[in-house]
Amino acid sequence: MGSVRVEAAGSIATIVIENAGKRNAIDSRMWAEFEPLLARLAADDAVTVVVVRGAGTDFSAGADITDLDRILPQPPDPTVSDGGIMTVAEDAIAAFPKPTIAAIDGYCVGGGWEIAGACDIRIASERSTFGITPSRLGIIYPVSGIERVVAIAGPAVAKHLLFTGELFPAQAALGFGLVTKVLPADGFWEAANEFAQLLAAKSQYSIRATKEIIEAMTDGSASAGQVAATWQSVASKDRAIGVEAFRAKRAPEFTWNGGEGG
């Protein structure tokens, strides 16, 4: 039986997708676990960065095909999003207020890519394999997932990947803009953790404001200027801490975590 669980280490929480023997394919129960799990992490001021990864040697081979009728209602239900619980999970990741990193090793295909694509940053091991495969199954990829591929890689690349359903290696994913770093397989998890620690040490006030501003710019949900103005009104000591540390030529120790008095 598959699971989606959280492993916490300091200010970094790792969401682990696990379905042994199925390359971490995600069944209907697992898809439904993402939204409440992310809500808990969003409310936890001790968590500043979230990493999403697969257990073992794969990120996720996508939706569990043996459970597809429960994942994608048949016939389609006009009262729910076209991707059903897949889209609910994807949107919960995309709307998560804190920085998210998809640490990708092995297969990241179909619904696995949908999860990774909703994260803010994607890094991959050199042995990773990617694919967006609805044309192999005779299904229509969720609109939100298509929108995200177009936003990340552009219309031409999105059409190529969605039309062909081809599998491609990490270096090709880097060329398409789907990932920002390709790292050696040996030591990949240590490098992924170091990257998460790097983000955790930065000003979370700055990162979270920037994340909302970029989202406003790209999805048109709000005026980027209005979002920036709202964040400017939020009380934070981070600016003073950062400037003082810069003048003293030492690393800053930022305090803002979304709670009061930071």
Predicted confidence at residue 82, as pLDDT, reads 66
Task: Using the CB atoms, write b or e for 188-205: b if 16+ within 10 Å.
Answer: bbebbbebbeebbebbbb
245 has a pLDDT exceeding 50: yes
Question: Is the peptide bond prior to 99 cis by the omega test (within 30 degrees of 0)?
Answer: no
Question: What CATH code would you report for 3-200?
Answer: 3.90.226.10
Q: How far apart are the first and last CA of the chain?
A: 42
- Read off the tokens for 195: 């990257």
- Read off the tokens for 141: 């990829």
Q: How many helices and strands (H and E) does the chain possess?
A: 12, 9
1 vs 159, more confident: 159
Interval 160-168 mean pLDDT = 97
69 vs 252, more confident: 252
What's the whole-model pTM score? 0.92
Predicted confidence at residue 220, as pLDDT, reads 72
- Read off the tokens for 154: 């552009």
Indicate the pLDDT class of residue 228, thresholds 50, 70 and 90: confident
User: Which residue type sits at 1?
Assistant: M
- Read off the tokens for 143: 């609109």
Interval 26-52 mean pLDDT = 97
5 has a pLDDT exceeding 50: yes
User: Which residue type sits at 242?
Assistant: G
What is the average pLDDT score of the chain?
92
Q: What is the pLDDT of residues 193-210, one digit of tens each?
A: 999 999 999 999 999 999
Predicted confidence at residue 76, as pLDDT, reads 57
Q: What is the pLDDT of residues 94-134, one digit of tens each?
A: 999 999 999 999 999 999 999 999 999 999 999 999 999 99
Which pairs with CB-CB distance under 8 Å and at least 24 residues apart come from 131-136? 131/161, 131/165, 131/166, 131/167, 131/168, 132/161, 132/162, 132/165, 133/62, 133/109, 133/165, 134/110, 134/162, 134/165, 135/162, 135/163, 135/164, 135/165, 136/165
137 has a pLDDT exceeding 60: yes
Interval 70-75 mean pLDDT = 73
73 has a pLDDT exceeding 50: yes
Predicted confidence at residue 222, as pLDDT, reads 73
